[in-house]
Amino acid sequence: MRRSGWAVCLLALGLLAGCASPAPYAPRRQGEATGYTDRELTANRYRITFTGNAATPRETVENYLLLRAAEVTEAAGFGAFMFDSRDTKADTRYYAEALGPPGPYFGYWRFRPHWGYDPFGPELDIVQSTRYSAFAEIVLLTPEQAAHETRAVNAREIIAHLGPPPPPRDPV
């Protein structure tokens, strides 16, 4: 009976892991850890961020940052922008997951210390989880400024190429 309980538990964990989906392209609300933010610093300068979850690839996080920068540019009445600064940070964490029941010595194992090597304990799998967060400061450019700036990015072309992103999926 113990083994069937562990099997059900592992099956449930597997189903939950399979339901993990990338962070949706949406504003980050208070108390949430994923999404985009933007803040006006001056009339033509904004700080933009996008933070994904562990299922969001780095490329997606950076694309969503670029898309949000283009949307902010158009909303402010400009057609182009350039990055003044831009970076992507990775937050990597490691944790251990038990690969099954502790084995035939369950009663003995239960009272052993929780540190060090335990030959009677469960096998462990070390899991790596990485969340990416991209941030940038952008400068909005007038058409004259954009014509003379080699780093100018056309906001309308970015939106046509990258967006709009797919709508968020309903949780399973």
Domain assignment present for residue 172? The answer is no
The answer to whether 57 touches 87, Cβ cutoff 8 Å, is no
Give residue-wise pLDDT tens across range 17-71.
445 789 999 999 999 999 999 999 999 999 999 999 999 999 999 999 999 999 9
Give residue-wise pLDDT tens across range 70-111.
999 999 999 999 999 999 999 999 888 776 655 554 444 444
Domain assignment present for residue 9? The answer is no
DSSP state of 164: S
Task: Give CA angle at 19 (93, 2), nearest 5°.
Answer: 85
Domain assignment present for residue 131? The answer is yes
Domain with 87, as residue range(s), is: 23-112+120-162
Domain assignment present for residue 57? The answer is yes
Instruction: Say how many domains are in the chain.
Output: 1
Domain assignment present for residue 17? The answer is no
Q: Which pTM was predicted? A: 0.73
Residue with more model confidence, 6 or 34: 34
Domain assignment present for residue 104? The answer is yes
Domain assignment present for residue 136? The answer is yes
Domain assignment present for residue 130? The answer is yes
